[in-house]
Chain A
């Protein structure tokens, strides 16, 4: 057996007030033929990252619907995770000098983990490239256990993958019955599997980061961080790295402040102790901010967690996501869900979440970002209308319940083969 990850119990009924009867009923209908089916989600890590966050909700909801879902993590040691990190980066477009030993290491750990696969499942969802080779070894060494449907879930954009790494990985993926990508655009053309699915990511409206919180809590949190409730606030939640353009955010804020002198800016990041580039970009950001203490630079080091992020987004008149390169950019949906209009870079998955002029604005330059922000700050009615439209759009497309529905639908589809 792999390492088992325990999850807290969740109930689909709790989502009824959020998404309505029709959607709940649709999910219940899709789940009916799957009752009692055994599902395994297999990935590399139990903590941190969007995948772990999603599985923490998805797995208990599947159980709530009568499936028998497990979440397990593969076993590995440092040498393996070094290789998988390199693999992850090179599949996302970074070029890394690959050595034969690295592939060997990956194969060894996948083969070793295949031997830990010792129970029959109806559906096995293998997440990301790290454990993708397991199916191959299960088929070869223990074919009796490879009888269920196996689906590979790819959470990253591999369209610019380093060719030698993708060529190495591809045959292992082609063993699967199906593959799930975040977006159709992310599907590799030369990948041949029977089923290809598109399942965009989603947010959990009941998680501490997104759940409705009383205005008193918002006030209390703002006061704790010396942000003035009575003055306009804009915010961006993202790492301090060049792709999220925190320097551009400060420049845009300065332009806006020329017209709205009361303006405050909150930038929230999470800082990892093992990330020297993150530190150095934090320093650059803080230097750009200078001694304007209407700019608040916050992170886990100041005690900012999910609830605080939630409060800062809710308290913002406008939320920014001025990325110049982005994956899906799910943080945009988090802000929209809170009814905030979002001004964001026109990159990655952002245009799928923002309809220019309806739920926010898509921008390509600092000046444009500032101009749109001013527009929204000066027209609270329009801002609020956009926020409402954004919330409705997220309700329809980017909540975890839609994600659950997609999975149930695809389980039904692969089992009808």
Chain B
């Protein structure tokens, strides 16, 4: 067995006031033929990533509609963690020096984890590339295919993947019954799987990161972290890494501040991990910020949790997501759900929640970013309208209930399609 991740039970009924009867009833209808089906979600991390957050909502919701869902994470070690990170970066389009030793490490952990597979499931969903070879190794160890349908869910954009790493992964992936991608633009043209499905990511409106918060809480969290609620705030919530360009955000803030001297910036790092690279990127951000204490750099080191992130998004006049390359885009969905206009990086390929000029602006440079921020700060009516439109868009397209529906449909189709 793998390491089991505990989740908090959820009730479908709580979502009814938010998403409406039609959506809830449709979910129940789709789940009816799947009652009692055993589902395993197998991932790499139990917390601190967008995928972990998603599974933390999806798994209990699947239980809530009558499936029997386990969420487990593979066993790893330090050397695997390094390789796993490298693999993820390489597949995401960053060049990493990939070596035969890394391949060996990856495979030896795949074998080790394959040996831990010891239960029967109707559906096994393997999330992300790192554990993808486990199916192959199980087949090899047991001399046959395990029961149930196997689905590979790829949460990242493979279109610019480093060739040698993708070539390594590809044959393992082809053994799955289905592959899920977040966007149709992200589907690798040479993926060879019987069924390819697009399921864009989603946010949970009931989670502590997205639920409604009182004005009093907003006020007190802002003050606790030294922000002035009376002065304009822009914020970005993301990892501190090159993908999310926090340095560019600081530069854009500086330009905007020349025109809006009262401006404050909150950069919330969703995570500063113990890996030296992420640590050194955090250092670079702090140094770029220098001694301008209207720039607030916050992270779990300052006791920032989901409620605080929620507050910083809600309190922002404009939310920035100046990513150079986007993995998940959920920060945007979270901000739009809170009725905030978003100025986001124009990153190719992703079906963006930011519809240029309607729910926010897409920008390609620091100057453009700051210009749009200033425009929205000076036109609160426009900002408000965009925020409302954004919220409606998310309600339709990016809530966890839609994600659950897509999965139930996929399970259903695999069941009948054989």
Contacts and interface: CB of A to CB of B under 8 A. Distances in A.
Interface string A237-280: 00000000000000000000000000000000000000010011
Contacts of B167: none
A289 B287 contact: yes
Contact of B291 (A287, A293, A303): A287
Interface of A: 276, 279-280, 283, 286-291, 293, 297, 301-303
B291 A290 contact: yes
A280 B299 CA distance: 11
11 contacts: A276-B302, A279-B301, A280-B302, A286-B286, A287-B290, A287-B293, A290-B287, A290-B291, A291-B287, A302-B280, A303-B276
A301 B283 CA distance: 11
B288 interface: yes
A297 B283 CA distance: 9
Contacts of A279: 301-302
Given A279-B302, A283-B297, A293-B287, 5 more contacts: A279-B301, A286-B283, A297-B283, A302-B279, A302-B280
Nearest to B303: A276
A286 B287 contact: yes
A134 B302 CA distance: 39
B274 interface: yes
Contacts, number: 35
Nearest to B295: A287
B287 to A, nearest CB: 5
B289 interface: yes
B297 A301 contact: no
Contact of B289 (A276, A287, A293, A301): A287
Classify the interface of chain A: helix, strand, loop or mixed.
helix
A267 B274 CA distance: 19
Contact of B301 (A276, A289, A291): A276
B286 A302 contact: no
A288 B291 contact: yes
A283 B293 CA distance: 11
Contacts of B276: 301-303
Nearest to A275: B301
A128 to B, nearest CB: 30
Contact of A290 (B274, B290, B297, B301): B290
Residue of A283, A291, A293 with highest tally of chain B CB at under 10 A: A283
Q: How large is the interface on B (under 10, 10 to 19, 20 to 34, 35 or more residues)?
A: 10 to 19
Contacts of B291: 287-288, 290
Contacts of B290: 287, 290-291
A301 B278 CA distance: 10
A136 B240 CA distance: 55
Interface string B270-312: 0000101001100100111111010001000111000000000
Contacts of B293: 287
A360 to B, nearest CB: 30
A286 B281 CA distance: 12
Contacts of B287: 286-287, 289-291, 293
Contacts of A289: 287
A280 B303 CA distance: 11
Nearest to A286: B286
Nearest to B290: A290
Contacts of A293: 287
Nearest to B274: A301
B132 to A, nearest CB: 31
A301 B302 contact: no
Nearest to A287: B291
A280 B276 CA distance: 18
B134 to A, nearest CB: 31
Contacts of B280: 302
A279 B283 CA distance: 11
A291 B284 CA distance: 8
Nearest to B293: A287
Contacts of B301: 276, 279-280
Contacts of A301: 274, 276, 279
A291 B250 CA distance: 13
Residue of B276, B289, B290, B301 with highest tally of chain A CB at under 10 A: B301
A288 B293 CA distance: 11
Residue of A276, A287, A303 with highest tally of chain B CB at under 10 A: A287
A283 B303 contact: no
A282 to B, nearest CB: 8
Nearest to A291: B287
B123 to A, nearest CB: 38
Closest 8 CB pairs between A and B?
A: A286-B286, A279-B301, A290-B290, A301-B279, A287-B291, A291-B287, A286-B287, A283-B286
Nearest to B280: A302
A99 to B, nearest CB: 26
Contacts of B274: 301
